[in-house]
Amino acid sequence: MDDTIFALSSGPPPAGVAVVRISGPAVRSALERLVDSVPEPRKVSLRFIKRSDGEILDQGLVVYFPGPASFTGEDVAELHLHGGRAVVAGVIDALGRLEGLRAAEPGEFTRRAFLNRRLDLTEAEGLADLVAAETEAQRRQALCQAGGELGVLFERWRERLIRARALIEADLDFSEEEDVPGSVVAAALDEARALAEEITRYLDDGRRGERIRDGAEIVVLGPPNAGKSSLVNVLARRGVAIVTPEPGTTRDLIEVRLDIGGYAVTLVDTAGLRAASGIVEAEGIRRAEARAETADLVLWLEPAGDEPRGLPANIAAPVLRLGSKADLVDSDSERGRVSGAFDVDISAETGQGIALLLERLEVFLRASFTGGDSVVVTRARHRQGLTACVEALGRSQDAGDLELVAEEMRRAGDALGRITGRVDVEDLLDVIFREFCIGK
């Protein structure tokens, strides 16, 4: 934290504009060396950027943000340069030659913002998700989290728990004081029980936030030569899977990331289900069936003119039955369409039914990812912390001994505080001494 760090904060050159960010106690002196003086705070200045020997490297825009009202909470400067490789390399080299400055480590600007209380861990994670967002749903969720809405919810729960813990601690340590109202254990346990019930309801969300962040998984399943790989290629709009007339071409799982209706999807092509003809194909079929067991949705493909088969017994996910090769049904008099057997008839060759299939997928994804609370759990780490908190609160109800009750509530508070990165005994002491006026 004593070092001043710098890094290229925009994409790699060449680019129209490159942004170099500097943060730390030596920002002002660095600006005086690079651009001759420190610009007026939060106002864009057009300056020549120079080496220490006076050689001009570029002419660009300079912005100075004095701490603590900056992203990192320290003095911060941004240099907006022309995005050529030589320009960026020259400025980075010039910064590295200044005393007290060093190149930033990955994530170090955000880490300093967290350490300086400019954002909590959930906001930092939301910021990372916002940078990595590929779809509209991911962007909206990440923006909500980066804006602090998830942290506000968790912090509200933490404050309630601190209050309950303060009641217990006051009863333990200050029971003789006039300002402590009799036995407050029952009130503290009631609050702990209510909080546990609220968090439990919140966790019962079908892992919606994690699925938006990681994407839904849709597995394409069916007999050999049903057109699974052809469908995957059509939906991906590129040749990701090999397609041949030979049954059993696909042996291993093939994954492709898609954006369907603003939602991230991992589409999985699988081996055709049949009596395997060899060890490799048998393993491919085993992997296909295992993947279908954990899928969010299964697309079951069979030729539209065939009598439908029974689905594998181990599929727990919703299933959309697709009649493939629909273009061949109309042109071959020996193949009659099986009326009502399939949800959608499609043809990868002509595109028939593909638009309708995408509409059905979008409806499914929207129904799966919307509804309930707008602020949702987005990471397994959050869910684990909340679950640990609920379990500790549950144990506090049956602990009996007051010191054991206090210990379980402390564990619950620590589990909750670790989610946002704020675990501080001073918060507990503040509540005790402020609300009970001990020793006045």
The pLDDT tens digits for 16-40 are 999 999 999 999 999 999 999 999 9
CA dist 257 to 185, 269, 349, 427, Å?
53, 12, 22, 45
The region of weakest confidence among 127-131, 162-166, 338-342, 436-440 is 436-440
More confident residue, 336 or 371: 371
What gap in Å lies between CA 336 and CA 352, rounded to an integer? 17
What gap in Å lies between CA 376 and CA 372, rounded to an integer? 9
What pLDDT shows up at residue 426? 54
Q: Is the pLDDT of residue 81 over 90?
A: yes
What pLDDT shows up at residue 36? 92
What pLDDT shows up at residue 101? 95
The mean pLDDT of 146-175, rounded to a whole number, is: 84
What pLDDT shows up at residue 440? 41
CA dist 378 to 155, 207, 210, 415, 426, Å?
16, 8, 4, 17, 29
pLDDT digits (tens, 9 = 90+) for 167-226: 887 777 655 555 545 467 788 889 999 999 999 999 988 788 888 888 889 999 988 888
Q: What percent of the chain has pLDDT over 90?
A: 39
pLDDT digits (tens, 9 = 90+) for 34-69: 999 999 999 999 999 999 889 999 999 999 999 999
What's the mean pLDDT when you consider all of the chain? 84
Q: Is the pLDDT of residue 262 over 80?
A: yes
For β-strands 254-260 and 263-269, DSSP reports them as antiparallel
What is the pLDDT confidence band of residue 251, given thresholds at 50, 70 and 90? low
What pLDDT shows up at residue 380? 87
Please identify which residue in the block is written with the tokens 């080299």.
93
What is the pLDDT confidence band of residue 438, given thresholds at 50, 70 and 90? very low
pLDDT digits (tens, 9 = 90+) for 95-119: 999 999 999 998 899 989 988 989 8
Q: Angle, nearest 10°, between helix axes 121-132 and 108-115?
A: 150
The DSSP secondary-structure symbol of 138 reads: H
The region of weakest confidence among 316-320, 372-376, 390-394 is 372-376
What gap in Å lies between CA 171 and CA 177, rounded to an integer? 9
For β-strands 56-65 and 216-221, DSSP reports them as unpaired
